[in-house]
Amino acid sequence: MTQNSNANKSLGYWGKVGSNPEKLGFWMTLPTMLLLVFIVVFPLIMQLYLSVTMWSPLDGVPWYKAYESFDYLGQYWRLLQDGEMWGAIGRTLFIMLITIPIQFALGLGLATLFVDEFPGKKFFYSVLLTPMMIVPAVAGLIFYLCFQGTGPINNHLGLPTNFSWLTDRNRAIITIIVSEIWQWTPLMFLILLAGMLGVPNDQILAARLLGASEFQIFKRIVIPRMKRVIIIVLALRTVESFKVFDSISVMTKGGPGVQTETISVYLYRMTFGDYEWGYVAAIGLSTLLALSVLAAQLLKRGAQPATVSK
* Predicted confidence band of residue 304 (pLDDT cuts 50, 70, 90): low
pLDDT in tens, 165-220: 999 988 999 999 999 999 999 999 999 999 998 888 888 888 888 888 888 888 88
| % of the chain surpassing 70 pLDDT | 89
pLDDT of 96 reads 95
Quote the DSSP letter at residue 218. I
pLDDT of 181 reads 96
pLDDT of 16 reads 56
Task: Compute the distance between CA of residue 273 and CA of residue 281 in angstroms, rounded to an integer.
Answer: 15
pLDDT of 179 reads 95
Cα atoms in the 13 Å half-sphere on the side-chain side of 195: 27
pLDDT of 27 reads 73
| % of the chain surpassing 90 pLDDT | 48
Task: Compute the distance between CA of residue 103 and CA of residue 226 in angstroms, rounded to an integer.
Answer: 17
Contact 175, 166 (CB under 8 A): yes
pLDDT of 60 reads 84
**What is the residue extent of each domain of the chain?**
1-49, 81-302
CATH code, residues 81-302? 1.10.3720.10
pLDDT in tens, 238-264: 999 999 999 999 999 998 989 999 999
Task: Tell me which of 204 and 84 has the higher pLDDT.
Answer: 84
**Position 3 pLDDT exceeds 60:** no
Contacts of 260 by beta carbon, 8 Å cutoff, 6+ apart: 91, 172, 173, 176, 248, 251, 252, 254
Mean pLDDT confidence for 19-43? 77
* Burial of residue 40 (number of CB atoms within 10 Å: 0-12, 13-18, 19+): exposed
Cβ atoms within 10 Å of 179's Cβ, excluding its own: 26
* Predicted confidence band of residue 40 (pLDDT cuts 50, 70, 90): confident
- Which residue stretches of the chain are H helix? 2-10, 13-19, 21-36, 42-51, 74-80, 83-114, 121-133, 136-146, 152-157, 172-197, 201-209, 214-217, 223-225, 227-241, 246-251, 263-272, 277-302
CA-based angle 196:199:202, to the nearest 5?
140
pLDDT in tens, 127-164: 999 999 999 999 999 999 999 988 899 999 888 888 88
pLDDT in tens, 85-104: 999 999 999 999 999 999 99
Whole-prediction pTM value?
Answer: 0.84
User: What mean pLDDT value characterizes the chain?
Assistant: 86
Task: Compute the distance between CA of residue 295 and CA of residue 123 in angstroms, rounded to an integer.
Answer: 35
The DSSP code sequence of 13-52 is HHHHHHH-HHHHHHHHHHHHHHHHIIIIIHHHHHHHHHHT
